[in-house]
Amino acid sequence: MAELSISKERLNYTIDLLVTMAVEEISAFTGKDSKEVLVDFLLSKTGKALYDDTTKLWWTGPSYLAEMYLEEVTAKQEVLPYTCESMKKIR
């Protein structure tokens, strides 16, 4: 079976949409401004890994990315004192 190919432009568009949805979810959960969350997300390991198309992280959904980011931030003991378990409780 032949592997499907996706253009770099289309892949970047897909990733940008995922970032937008994940940032909205993180912002709603944390109460932080989405612009601030966007900058933090893009500078995070999660954000960088998402734009590395070899990781195939773009195959996941925005909720998975939001949880992954919150785990990363929580592990760093930064300002967001949230865990993925507490995020699941509000859904």
Neighbour tally for 86: CB within 10 Å: 12
Q: What percent of the chain has pLDDT over 70?
A: 79
Determine the pLDDT at residue 6.
Answer: 80
For residue 80, pLDDT over 70 is answered with no
Domain ranges within the chain, ordered by starting residue: 8-89
pLDDT digits (tens, 9 = 90+) for 38-74: 999 999 999 999 999 889 998 999 999 999 999 998 8
Chain position carrying tokens 């003991």: 77
Mean pLDDT calculated for residue range 21-37? 95
Neighbour tally for 43: CB within 10 Å: 10
